[in-house]
Structure 1
Amino acid sequence: MSSLSVSEHVVDDVAHTAAKRRRERLAQWHLWFILVVVLGPLVIYPLVQLLTLSVTGAHGLSLHPYIAFFTNPETSGVIGTTLGILFASATLASVLGVLLASMLFFKPFPGAKLVTRFLELFVAFPSFLVAFTLIFLYGSQGSVSIGLQRLFNLSDPPLNFLFGIGGVILAEVVFYAPFVVRPTLASFATLDMRLIEAAKSLGANGPMVAFKVILPLAWPGIAAGTILCFLLTLNEFGILLVLGSAHLITLPMAIYSSATVDLDLQTAAAGAVVMLAMSLSLYALYRRVNRHTGGRNGN
């Protein structure tokens, strides 16, 4: 009887091992399918072509595209404009997102859940739609501008700031603030409310509770949302295409112009690689902060 039980146990182990190997082989086939059919033609091949094009000159391999990109007298201005808009827009969007999340979480009001759902839906909108909405409202011929003109009997529309750096920053702040709200709300949800109540019972006022208790505990989630906002703002193109003026040239617009207007694909590829390196650096930082946030929440 015991020998029969041992034999059945051995058979079960063999069957379990064989099933495990089949699952591993199936997982490997799935991985190869994704690499060859999906990532290969859509991600890997374009990246390889981009890198190859960025080091190709008239006579084969060359760093001339990078030299032409960095020695161009306009490049420093383009990078400066890009970083200026990036820090202004992403910083304001991050601050606004954190304030909105704080109000929705700590000071809920009737309809707060509906506002939260709308902000979640808002991130699915294309960015150029926000730009066109602002034009229809606050452009020189927008409804708000025309209304103010008629209300105060003005000869010209009073609002004429959208097509330039002011309009770009406003549109990016409006569009990317909701991207900060969601991770900040998720970070607030992990807070131990007893610590906040204890701080209040000890006489701490609102700002002290916010900066001494809430912010240190929720900082990893806020930082992750802020870095994500910077990453998305860096790669923004639609808003710049709609609201950017001829004098407002950022790195994405310069790359687009080099490829489509100047037909200088090598220099455009070099600029794209530089921008890709900046984006990957921000993404690596985002992953690191987000991993720290996950580990902290798990504890």
Structure 2
Amino acid sequence: MASPGARLTKAQPAPGAVPGRPAARDLGGERGGRNADACPRPGEKDPRPDGDPAAPAPGRGPHGDAAAPAPGRGPHGDPAAPAPGRGPHGDAAAPAPGRGPHGDAAAPAPRRGPHGRDVSWLWAAPPVLALAVVFLYPLALVVQESLAPGAYARVFASASFRDALVTTVWLAAAATAGCLVLGFVLALVLAFVPFPGGRAVARFIDVFLSFPSFLITLALLFLYGTVGMANGLWTDVTGADSGPFRFLTTPWGVLLAEITYFTPFVMRPLLAAFSQLDTAQLEVASSLGARPLRIVRRVILPEALPALAAGGSLVLVMCLNEFGIVLFTGAKGVTTLPMLVYGKAVLESDYAAACVVAVVNVLISVGLYGLYRTLVARSGGAGAGREGSRRRAGA
């Protein structure tokens, strides 16, 4: 049995305890030092001045949550990684080797000689000299010969020159229009109408571009010439002395030969443009009920305009300077500017007049090419503006 002193010692409450309540447990030992340090025990002086809230623990906010990292520091207090394109101190980083300040490919440095002089012009000198000897010098001789006294006035006053100029212009314009229409239709069929042998035909277009112009003219002569297959078949069937096909020696025969020969020069850029066309646009237009002609007019044709302009300008310039087709068709009543140059220089030995006609022909060709480049530049700028407007509208 325990002694009275032992019972008294066991029942004696702890200092500061409230009678009738169990003694408080040591919170600091079970819950960690944070609450024990922040909350003073009864009878002890509050270590916080004036009773204000305790200072947060390191790395913690006033409510005990994770504090925001300091500027230039990571979440664990280590130095933060620099932003893209920035150095370790936040300044603009030096560009990578071979790159510009914006990351694009830097312009190559000019070649320097042993004394620091720019010697890049030495690489351009050989091709420029070759071009000057092969092209510029003969052209200068032609221009010099055309400046003979009274040569331009005599040529411009002749009726043969005016007739040749009119014939050349209308044949070139009509052949270009025919090539554009026929080439566009054939390119549409090859690009969007699958049929057996379509790829072989498309590859044959590339081979056709390498054929000389007189070869096509000879083929037409075999078909529609005076003694060609068509006239021979007609005479065999009807017993007539001659056939009805005599148009090949007229301007219409020259026009047919030029359209036949130059149409692939329009088809080639069109096929390249159609291969880049997004077929999803065609499917959406078809699903909305658009008919084929409307799809061609509203979807395909706008995308094909640059290719049509490129092919049409090339055909126009080539038709203006075409000589072999007119010569091999035997159309004696058709005189173009190249044929007039040939007649003046070879048949009449009038070199001054021939040079005048040649200079006029060159000026027309260069002028049309410059006009083509201007139109392409303007249409390209307008197209870029429309594309930017669509993007901004979509954004």
> Given the two structures, how large is their TM-score scaled by the length of structure 2?
0.65
- Does the 8 A contact of 1:227 with 1:285 survive in 2? no
Residue 273 of structure 2 aligns with an amino acid whose one-letter code is S
Percent of pairs identical after alignment?
36
Corresponding residue number in structure 1 for 2:168: 82
Corresponding residue number in structure 1 for 2:337: 251
- Does the 8 A contact of 2:248 with 2:331 survive in 1? no
1:48 aligned residue (117, 140, 144): 140
- Cα 1:108–1:287 change in 2 (3 A) is farther
2:180 equivalent to 1:180: no
Corresponding residue number in structure 2 for 1:39: 131
Equivalent pairs, count: 276
2:368 equivalent to 1:282: yes
2:123 aligned residue (12, 19, 30): 30
Corresponding residue number in structure 2 for 1:3: none
Residue 134 of structure 2 aligns with an amino acid whose one-letter code is L
- Does the 8 A contact of 2:254 with 2:331 survive in 1? no
Q: CA RMSD in A?
A: 2.5
Q: CA–CA distance in 2 between the matches of 1:221 and 1:151?
A: 46
1:21 aligned residue (112, 130, 139): 112
1:290 to partner: Cα distance:
5.8
The aligned runs of 1:1-299 (5 Å cut-off) are 20-21=111-112, 27-36=120-129, 38-57=130-149, 64-288=150-374
1:241 to partner: Cα distance:
0.9
Q: CA–CA distance in 1 between the matches of 2:358 and 2:347?
A: 16
Q: CA–CA distance in 1 between the matches of 2:342 and 2:120?
A: 40
- Cα 1:208–1:228 change in 2 (3 A) is same
Q: CA–CA distance in 1 between the matches of 2:247 and 2:330?
A: 11
Any idea what the Cα deviations from partners look like across 1:89-133, whole Å, max 9, x if unmatched?
A: 221122111111111001121111111111111111110111111
- Does the 8 A contact of 2:230 with 2:243 survive in 1? no
Where 1:125 maps in the other structure, the secondary structure is coil
Any idea what the Cα deviations from partners look like across 1:123-154, whole Å, max 9, x if unmatched?
A: 11110111111111221111232123213333
Any idea what the Cα deviations from partners look like across 1:182-241, whole Å, max 9, x if unmatched?
A: 011112122222222222122110111111111112211111111111111111100011
- Does the 8 A contact of 2:254 with 2:329 survive in 1? yes
- Cα 1:227–1:234 change in 2 (3 A) is same
- Does the 8 A contact of 1:145 with 1:158 survive in 2? yes
Any idea what the Cα deviations from partners look like across 1:144-172, whole Å, max 9, x if unmatched?
A: 32123213333322322211212111110
- Does the 8 A contact of 2:111 with 2:119 survive in 1? no
- Cα 1:122–1:27 change in 2 (3 A) is farther
Q: CA–CA distance in 1 between the matches of 2:349 and 2:144?
A: 17
Q: CA–CA distance in 1 between the matches of 2:371 and 2:204?
A: 28
- Does the 8 A contact of 1:51 with 1:269 survive in 2? yes
- Does the 8 A contact of 2:205 with 2:264 survive in 1? yes
Q: CA–CA distance in 2 between the matches of 1:127 and 1:281?
A: 24
- Cα 1:81–1:274 change in 2 (3 A) is same
1:45 to partner: Cα distance:
0.2
> Given the two structures, how large is their TM-score scaled by the length of structure 1?
0.84
Residue 128 of structure 2 aligns with an amino acid whose one-letter code is L
- Does the 8 A contact of 1:50 with 1:269 survive in 2? yes
Residue 53 of structure 1 aligns with an amino acid whose one-letter code is E
- Does the 8 A contact of 2:281 with 2:299 survive in 1? yes
- Cα 1:271–1:73 change in 2 (3 A) is same
- Structure having the higher helix fraction is 1
1:294 to partner: Cα distance:
8.2
